[in-house]
Homo-oligomer: A and B are copies of this chain.
Amino acid sequence: MSGTLTVVGLGPGDRRYLTPDADEAINSADALYGYAPYLARVPVRGHQIHYPSDNREEAARAAAALAHATCGGNVAIVSGGDPGVFAMAAAVCEAIETGPEAWRALDVMFIPGVTAMLAVAARIGAPLGHDFCALSLSDNLKPWELIGRRLDAAASAGFVVAIYNPVSRARPWQFGNALGRLRRRLPPSTPVVFGHAVGRSDERVDVTTLDAADGKNADMATLVIVGSRETRVVARPGKPPLVYTPRAAVEVSA
Give which listed residue, B11, B105, B131, B236, contacts A150 with CB less than 8 A.
B131
Asked if residues B82 and A244 are in contact (CB atoms below 8 Å), the reply is no
Within the oligomer, what is the number of copies of this chain?
A: 2
Main secondary structure of the interface of A (DSSP, over half): mixed
Contacts of A90 in B (CB 8 A): 126, 129-130, 244-247
Asked if residues A141 and B20 are in contact (CB atoms below 8 Å), the reply is no
Distance, CA A127 to CA B93, complexed state (A): 10
Contacts of A86 in B (CB 8 A): 129-130, 247
Asked if residues A131 and B136 are in contact (CB atoms below 8 Å), the reply is yes
Query: Looking at the complex, which of A47-55, A109-117, A213-221 is the stretch in contact with chain B?
Result: A109-117
Residue A97 lies at the interface, judged by CB distance under 8 Å to chain B: yes
Contacts of A249 in B (CB 8 A): 141-142, 146
Asked if residues A128 and B85 are in contact (CB atoms below 8 Å), the reply is yes
Asked if residues A118 and B112 are in contact (CB atoms below 8 Å), the reply is yes
Asked if residues A19 and B21 are in contact (CB atoms below 8 Å), the reply is no
Residue A36 lies at the interface, judged by CB distance under 8 Å to chain B: no
Residue A96 lies at the interface, judged by CB distance under 8 Å to chain B: yes
Residue A169 lies at the interface, judged by CB distance under 8 Å to chain B: no
Asked if residues B157 and A153 are in contact (CB atoms below 8 Å), the reply is yes
Contacts of A85 in B (CB 8 A): 118, 128-129
Distance, CA A135 to CA B105, complexed state (A): 35
